[in-house]
């Protein structure tokens, strides 16, 4: 009797064991996590590009009339619409554009620089814009951390120092850019050995500037973004809060109690918060660069985007916007990857 009960119990337990879901291997978990992140980024890219394409195609006015003027015949207009796919519906036109974009063909400029490939126009220009945005963010983050370490925990007397900084930082970045350009034009001159002054190669601002001509106006643009729109104040408050919370955490106090250096632990645990703050502010900074570039007339994608938008050049505007969207998506993927490497539990949770 006991043997039969034991046998039945063994069969029952084995059947239950057989119906348990098989655990996924760590490699398959990582692959599934990466695929889900890529799928999310791709869906965001498709949705955003479709919205931009639809808004531009539906905007008032006709780019064909803008190109041909009053002398265009109906036959010429029909041929031009067919050439640029403007005779198709929004969905058909977008699908045609998307299929070509997958092969690296973003179309050609219609009105801004007729006949020029959009990829050759938008790619180098966006690298300039991205460089200005990254420099301004890194510059603000470095100064914010330095000031946070110098000041330590918040104290009432620090308002005397931080108040004027916050007040100056509240101005819009384009206002800061205009004031900075005026100040630079008034003050910066090169002294000649025999007396007198000579302006630098980029004088006066604004004049159309390429990165190969002089790096100075691009540095001024990054400085304008760092000093405006409350960017520095926002970064300082966020980074200071992260630093103070981490410095007062239990495991940092335990490290101090053992007499060990807390700096390596602080640096390691500030990587993800700093990268998160950087990623969250990147879209805002990129939008600010568009206006600041136009003020300084730099050869970045901001200047290109505004000029193309004024001329209703749909392929150029969509192509440039695509680079902005890609930058944000890639930055978020990098953030997720760093989070997963620092804390593998993120992958296990599927977040």
Rounded distance between C-alpha atoms, residue 107 and residue 308, angstroms: 14
CATH no., domain 122-349: 1.10.3720.10
Residues in the chain: 351
Query: Residue-wise pLDDT tens for the chain (351 aa)?
Result: 455 555 555 555 555 455 555 556 667 777 777 788 788 888 888 888 888 777 777 766 666 666 666 666 777 777 767 766 677 777 887 887 788 888 877 777 777 777 788 888 888 888 888 888 888 888 888 888 888 888 777 777 767 777 777 777 788 888 888 888 888 777 776 555 555 566 666 666 777 767 777 787 888 888 888 888 788 888 888 888 888 887 777 877 787 787 777 777 777 777 778 888 888 888 888 888 888 888 888 888 877 888 887 777 777 888 888 888 888 888 888 877 777 777 666 555 555
Label residue 12 exposed, middle or buried (CB < 10 Å: 0-12, 13-18, 19+): exposed
Rounded distance between C-alpha atoms, residue 152 and residue 158, angstroms: 10
* SS3 letters across the chain: CHHHHHHHHHHHHHHHHHCCCCCCCHHHHHHHHHHHHHHHHHHHHHHHHHHHHHHHHHCCCCHHHHHHHHHCCHHHHHHHHHHHCCCCCHHHHHHHHHHHHCCCCCCECCCCCCCCEHHHHHHHHHHHHHHHHHHHHHHHHHHHHHHHHHHCCCCHHHHHHHHHHHHHHCCCHHHHHHHHHHHHHHHCCEECCCCCEECCCCCCCCCCECCCCCCHHHHHHHHHHHHCCCHHHHHHHHHHHHHHHHHCCHHHHHHHHCCCCCHHHHHHHHHHHHHHHHHHHHHHHHHHHHHHHHHHCECCHHHHHHHHHHCCCHHHHHHHHHHHHHHHHHHHHHHHHHHHHHCCHHHHHCC
Label residue 8 exposed, middle or buried (CB < 10 Å: 0-12, 13-18, 19+): exposed
Q: What is the pLDDT of residue 72?
A: 65
Estimate to the nearest angstrom the gap between the alpha carbon of 183 and the chain centroid: 29
Domain boundaries, the chain: 122-349
Rounded distance between C-alpha atoms, residue 285 and residue 232, angstroms: 11
Q: What is the pLDDT of residue 3?
A: 54
Q: What is the pLDDT of residue 316?
A: 83
Q: How far apart are the first and last CA of the chain?
A: 52
Q: What is the pLDDT of residue 68?
A: 63
């Amino acid at each position: 009797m006991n043997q039969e009960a034991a046998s039945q119990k063994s069969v029952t337990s084995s059947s239950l064991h057989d119906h348990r879901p098989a655990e996924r291997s760590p490699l398959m978990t990582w692959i599934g996590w990466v695929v889900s992140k890529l799928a999310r980024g791709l869906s965001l890219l498709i949705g955003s590009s479709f919205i931009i394409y639809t808004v531009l195609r539906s905007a008032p006015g006709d780019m064909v009339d803008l190109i041909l003027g009053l002398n265009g015949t109906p036959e010429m207009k029909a041929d031009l619409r067919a050439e640029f796919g403007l005779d198709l519906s929004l969905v058909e036109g977008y699908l045609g554009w998307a299929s070509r974009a997958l092969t690296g063909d973003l179309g050609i400029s219609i009105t801004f620089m007729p006949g020029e490939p959009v990829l050759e126009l938008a790619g180098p220009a966006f690298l300039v814009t991205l460089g200005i945005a990254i420099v301004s963010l890194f510059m603000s983050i470095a100064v914010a951390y330095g000031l946070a370490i110098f000041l330590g925990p918040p104290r009432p007397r620090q308002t005397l120092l931080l108040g004027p900084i916050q007040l100056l930082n509240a101005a819009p970045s384009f206002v800061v850019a205009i004031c900075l350009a005026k100040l630079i034009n008034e003050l910066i001159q090169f002294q000649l050995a025999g007396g007198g002054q000579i302006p630098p190669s980029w004088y006066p601002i604004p004049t159309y500037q390429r990165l190969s001509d002089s790096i100075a106006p691009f540095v001024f643009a990054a400085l304008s973004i760092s000093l405006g729109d409350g960017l520095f104040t926002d970064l300082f408050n966020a980074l200071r809060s992260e630093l103070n919370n981490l410095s007062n955490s239990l495991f940092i106090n335990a490290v101090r109690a053992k007499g060990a250096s807390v700096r390596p632990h602080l640096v390691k645990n500030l990587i993800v918060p700093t990268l998160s703050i950087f990623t969250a502010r990147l879209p805002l900074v990129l939008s600010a660069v568009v206006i600041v570039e136009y003020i300084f007339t730099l050869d970045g994608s901001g200047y290109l985007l505004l000029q193309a938008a004024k001329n209703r050049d749909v392929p150029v505007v969509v192509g440039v916007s695509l680079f902005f969207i890609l930058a944000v998506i890639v930055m978020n993927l990098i953030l997720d990857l760093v989070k997963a490497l620092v804390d593998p539990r993120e992958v296990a949770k599927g977040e």
